[in-house]
Amino acid sequence: MTTPPVVLSFIDAVNRGDTSVVLGFFHPVTGVVVDAGRRFVGHKEIASWNEREFVGAGGRLIPSDIRTEGHVVTVVGRWESSFYTGPTRFVFRLDGERITELSMGQ
């Protein structure tokens, strides 16, 4: 199965350091990021987390494996940033061109 364009566009935006584009993939009120068990809901919380620990920390994702099952896409790869560097699993739950939830951890 092919990788949904929304996931590829998200990875590209992250690797370019484009914070506003990254934030735009999430619904302003109901979008969710779960990072190592910590939950961030809506643009305000996601933007704060993103600035500290994700794009704002110089984040870059180098995928090694991408699997798609329906509306769930799992990306395994190497995450590099000033906040954390190492192997990471990203699980995207999608609704069309939006990410309803992004969960990540080792």
pLDDT per position as a tens digit, 29-38? 999 999 999 9
Helices and strands counted in the chain (H then E): 3, 6
pLDDT per position as a tens digit, 68-79? 999 999 999 999
Q: Which two tokens stand for residue 50?
A: 């993103």
pLDDT per position as a tens digit, 1-33? 689 999 999 999 999 999 999 999 999 999 999
CB 83 within 8 A of CB 104: no
Residue 83 has a pLDDT of 84
Helix (H) or strand (E) holding 53: helix 42-53
Domains of the chain: 5-105 (3.10.450.50)
Whether the predicted pLDDT of 106 surpasses 80: no
Residues in the chain: 106
* Greatest CA separation for the chain: 34
Query: DSSP 3-state assignment of 25?
Result: coil
